[in-house]
């Protein structure tokens, strides 16, 4: 009787193992896959990218993903690109201040002059949307040399929005003088100048 019970118990354990093993393996896979987003910046960036194209994405979800990059991978290039994707999504959903707050964190941490200038340019555009003109101009005061014309063009836009047409025209003409003849920005600046002169 004892041998019979042991034998059947052994068979029972084998059957249970065969049932539980694939289930446990699957659960382990899911756990590792979910955990990987916290240890792999590329995975986090991928999740931000996917979330940014889904209108149903909550602010909390995309902010949490961005916080993972900011807290753990702020020296990785995935961080600025994740920031730009996340802030673009937030601003498109009308969450302008949340976008500005997120850009501020990146600007404070960034040591990359070019990417920091991209963030400042974006921030100035968001502040312009909020009609915070002086603050928007302040973001554009110390551009990297590669961004000087672009920043001045944005400054001119802000001045014009304030009704300061003469100041805006002066700045646009100043940009035009500095531009190379083949620079595609010439056409845009020229059109702006012509439009303003007709006012």
Q: Per residue in 92-148, pLDDT tens? A: 999 999 999 999 999 999 989 999 999 999 999 999 999 999 999 999 998 988 899
Task: Annotate the chain with DSSP letters as a single string.
Answer: -HHHHHHHHHHHHHHHHHHHHHHHHHHHHHHHHHHHHHH-HHHHHHHHHHHHT-TT--HHHHHHHHHHHHHH-TTSTHHHHHHHHHHHHHHHTT-HHHHHHHHHHHHHH---HHHHHHHHHHHHHHHHHTT-HHHHHHTTSS--GGGHHHHHHHHHHHHHHTT-HHHHHHHHHHHHHHS-TT-THHHHHHHHHHHHHT-
Max avg pLDDT among 22-26, 49-53, 110-114, 195-199: 110-114
Domain boundaries, the chain: 37-110, 133-199
Confidence of residue 5 (pLDDT cuts 50, 70, 90): very low
| Entry pTM | 0.76
Predicted local distance difference test score (pLDDT) of residue 2: 47
Instruction: Please tell me the predicted confidence (pLDDT) of residue 87.
Output: 94
Model confidence over 138-156: pLDDT tens digits?
Answer: 999 989 888 999 999 999 9
């Amino acid at each position: 009787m004892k041998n019979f019970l042991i034998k059947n118990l052994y068979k029972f354990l084998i059957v249970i193992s065969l049932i539980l093993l694939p289930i446990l393996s699957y659960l382990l896979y899911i756990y590792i896959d979910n955990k990987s987003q916290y240890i792999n910046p590329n995975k986090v960036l991928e999740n931000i990218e996917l979330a940014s194209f889904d209108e149903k994405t909550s602010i909390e979800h995309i902010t949490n993903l961005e916080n993972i990059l900011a807290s753990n991978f702020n020296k990785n290039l995935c961080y600025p690109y994740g920031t730009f994707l996340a802030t673009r999504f937030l601003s498109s959903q009308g969450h302008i201040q949340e976008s500005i707050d997120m850009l501020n964190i990146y600007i404070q941490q960034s040591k990359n002059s070019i990417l920091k200038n991209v963030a400042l340019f974006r921030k100035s555009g968001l502040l312009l949307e909020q009609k915070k003109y002086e603050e928007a101009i302040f973001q554009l005061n110390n551009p990297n040399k590669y961004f000087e014309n672009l920043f001045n063009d944005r400054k001119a836009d802000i001045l014009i929005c304030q009704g300061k047409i003469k100041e805006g025209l002066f700045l646009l003409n100043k940009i035009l003088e500095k531009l190379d003849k083949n620079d595609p920005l010439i056409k845009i600046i020229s059109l702006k100048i012509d439009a303003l002169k007709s006012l």
